[in-house]
Each structure stands twice: as C-alpha cells, then as structure tokens.
Chains A and B, each alone.
Chain A
C-alpha cells in the first residue's frame, strides 16, 4: 500500500507533470518570482488556493471514483481560466495514459473514455483508488504536487540552488499536511460543497502565458 503511494507521488512517475510549471513560468517572466523568498510566497499562495481545491477533488474522486463525471463538472465550474482547464485536462489525460498500463481497472478504463481528459485532480483520485491509496493519501499527493511542481520549475527557470529549494519544500511540510487534512475532511461532503478557493492572479496570468509565442512550459 505504502509503496503504491510513493510510486504515484514520485516526480519521476511519467504523467506529464514535468512540462507544467503551475503558473511559475508566467510569474518568473513577469518578475513576480525571482528568488527563494518570492518563490516561498508563491508556493504558499498556490498551496492554500488551487492546491486545496485540487487536493479536495483528488480525495473526493478517490472516495467515489464511480462519480468521476459529476466531480469533474464541479471542478470545471471552479476553473474559470480556459487555459487552466486545458492544462488540467491535458495532465489528467497524461496521468490516465500511465495508469492504464500501471494500474488498469474498471474506473481507470472509464476515465480513458473521456478523450479530452478528466481534470488532473479528478484523474489523480481515480488512479489513486486503483493503486490502493486512501482519499487522505490522494489529497496528500495532490497537495505535495501543488508545491513540488512549481518548485522544480523554479530550479530550471531561475537556476536556484536545488538544495535550498528542497529545504523550502520541507519547511512547508506542515502546511502541506494541513491542507491535505482540510481537503480530506471537505471531501466527506457532497461534491457541490467541495472547496472553491480561487487564485485570480494565477487565472489571469495563465491566460497571458497561453498567448506567448515563446514559452518553455505548457502552463
């Protein structure tokens, strides 16, 4: 059980995440993130907004993968940016592609029928369930990825010291746990009541980023 959790949480798991910066590329180019301190503020902001929402939806989909379509619609309603909808569904599709081989099963097969892809957190919950993880573990993976994805992009885009960046992630450990815990509790209710925390600047800058001629990350 534990091993499956680690496999799914591993940044090397081939689910397309490496090409997405979670909004960090836009923040770097627009000079909002330039060093460790500004990266820390970015990560905290992302964790407690879209990170919380994603973790709650991952937990909900893991708890009830049969309701993936309805849960997916709820997340669509919480994703106002078309660019972020596309990025999320692309990553959901990529995750499904890996899971179809690694953890095949009826819910994973059903997720594959959504050609445009489920939203990434919903796909994560469905896949986590197939891998034998609990809703709480799904939320933990999602909350951790909300931070580790942009942090890894920061190492590549800003040339920050990778040890210091991982020190920063470790220092956010309590925050990640707290968000995962809150997300897991929120996921016990109906899908319509799942969290809807928003991060308008991430939405706006995702639209800006999607229009650039030159970019290194898909989102």
Chain B
C-alpha cells in the first residue's frame, strides 16, 4: 500500500502532514542494521504444561548448528524457562532473554508487546544478525495469542493429556495459529486420548492451516515442527 493511499482524502490547501508508512514495521531494529533482512520471529504459545519449553529446547538443539538462533521467554516465573534451556545446554546464556510479565503473560505477547520487542532489540544489538528468534509465551489459556506486531508466525502447542476435547473447544490459539502442535502423543493410550478425534476436530476448526502430532520422546528433534520452521526461511 502506498503511504498516500491511506483512507482519507487530502484537500489542495490543507496543512501538509505525514503518515507512518503502513507497510513498514514500526519496530524495525533491522532497518538500522542495514542488512535489509531480519530474523523470522516465531511465537510459541499454549496452555501450562503442554510442552512449550521442551519444544523450544528440542528446536534449539536441532537447529543451533546451522542457524543463528535466539530465544525470548515469558514465563510467569521470570528465569524458570531460561534456566531450563541453560541447564540443558541448548543455547548459551547470551542468546536467551527472560521477560517479566507482571502476572499477565497474555498482555506481554498481545496487548503491550514492548518488553518483548525490547528483548529482541537487545538480542539483535548484542549478537548481530539472527536467522530465527523464538518467543515463548508463559503458559496461559486457550485464548492467548501473539500480536502480529511482535511475531511473524505463531505455533500453538496443546497436549493429549489436557484432554482430547481441546481442539474442539477452539479459541484463537487453536483456530488461528499458523501451526498447531498436538504434543505428547506417546501419552495418548495412558490418558485415553483419541488422536483421530483430535485430528478431526483440529481440521474442522482450522480449515487449511496445518496441524502436526508430536512426541519428543519418540522424536527428540521435533522433525515436523523443525521442517515447518525451515520452510519459512
């Protein structure tokens, strides 16, 4: 869209004024870096305990060798997730930032994204150009989604132990995420979850948007998720 084409007419003798260009990312640390390219920002959200941090760790392990990665975590307990990633040795400390969310994890990724944008900017300032930045939300409920001002694509993670009715319940995470991950499929027989039902309901809720099943016990490199991310690059 052209900046002059922005929804109102300009009279011939009105005071000149400007509009922010609608196609420009206003947060753009990258315009300043001069590379003309910035990291793909991927949000990873989902309910408490669905396996977001384990997925982030698996993705880092699988991709850190050939991609320049960084992670921003939004756990309610500030350093918990970052510590998990550090303990597991998946990324060096300087590639991980933890953001405090003031008891409102969904606010920090949706309504007021500034602390996350600051964290991304600080990572880019200190590390130089990056390929992928994973922004992990704090565990929230099915209504939490990321702002498009913060991320480019979002993954929503649910798990079979949360009940096979979760995809049917819907909510913006399930219905609109760019990728839905149904996690911990190895537990399905133990918790009585019917994967066929989850698959059917997810398809009904999501239309053409992709859904993948995952068990990090059986597939520690999170292959389907990794392939989806690599496909974005």
List residues of A whose CB falls within 8 A of some B CB.
12, 14-21, 90, 93-95, 97-98, 100-101, 104, 115, 153, 156-157, 213-218
Q: Is the CB–CB distance between A156 and B102 below 8 Å?
A: yes
Docked CA distance A16–B116 (Å) = 9
Q: Which residues of B contact A93 (CB under 8 A)?
A: 114, 118
Q: Is the CB of B114 within 8 A of A214?
A: no
- Where the two chains meet, the residues of B that have a C-beta atom closer than 8 Å to any C-beta of A are 18, 20, 26-27, 76-80, 99-104, 107-108, 111-115, 117-118, 125
Query: What CA separation (Å) do A195 and B78 show in the bound complex?
Result: 34
The minimal Cβ–Cβ distance linking B73 to chain A, given in whole angstroms, is 14
Kindly list chain B residues whose C-beta atoms are within 8 Å of the C-beta of A100. Answer: 26
Is there contact, CB below 8 Å, between A213 and B102?
no
The answer to whether A216 and B103 touch across the interface, beta carbons within 8 angstroms, is yes
Known contacts A101-B20, A213-B79; is A14 also within 8 Å of B111 by CB? Answer: yes
- Residue in contact with A217 in the complex, picked from B80, B102, B112, B113, CB distance below 8 Å: B102
Q: Is the CB of B108 within 8 A of A19?
A: yes
Contact A218 B102 (CB under 8 A): yes
Q: How far is the CA of A58 from the CA of B104 in the complex (A)?
A: 27
Instruction: Give the secondary structure class of B's interface.
Output: loop
Complex Cα–Cα for A219 and B20 (A)? 32
CA distance A214 to B79 in the complex (A): 7
Given contacts A101-B26, A104-B18, contact A14 B102 (CB under 8 A): no
A19 touches B100 (CB 8 A): yes
A16 and B115 contacting across the interface, CB-CB below 8 Å: yes
A14 touches B76 (CB 8 A): no
Given known contacts A16-B114, A18-B111, what 15 new A-B pairs fall within 8 Å (CB)? Answer: A12-B111, A14-B111, A15-B114, A16-B115, A18-B104, A18-B108, A19-B100, A19-B102, A20-B102, A90-B118, A98-B114, A104-B18, A213-B78, A214-B78, A217-B102
A18 to B27, CA, bound (A): 19
Do the beta carbons of A97 and B103 come within 8 Å of each other?
A: no
Which 8 pairs across A and B sit closest by C-beta, in order of nearness?
A94-B114, A16-B114, A14-B112, A19-B102, A218-B100, A156-B103, A101-B26, A18-B102
